[in-house]
Amino acid sequence: MSGGQRYCQALDLADDPELQQQYRQLHQQIWPEITRHLRRYGITQMEIYLLGTRLVMIMETAPDFDAAQFAARSEQDAKVREWEALMWRYQRPTPWTPPGEKWVAMERIFSLQSQI
DSSP per-residue letters across 14-80 = -S-HHHHHHHHHHHHS--HHHHHHHHHTTEEEEEEEEETTEEEEEEEE-TT--HHHHHHHHHH-HHH
pTM given for the model: 0.91
pLDDT tens-digit series, residues 13-48: 999 999 999 999 999 999 999 999 999 999 999 999
Say what percent of the chain tops pLDDT 90.
95
Quickly state the pLDDT bin for 2 (edges 50, 70, 90): low
| Average pLDDT value over all residues in the chain | 96
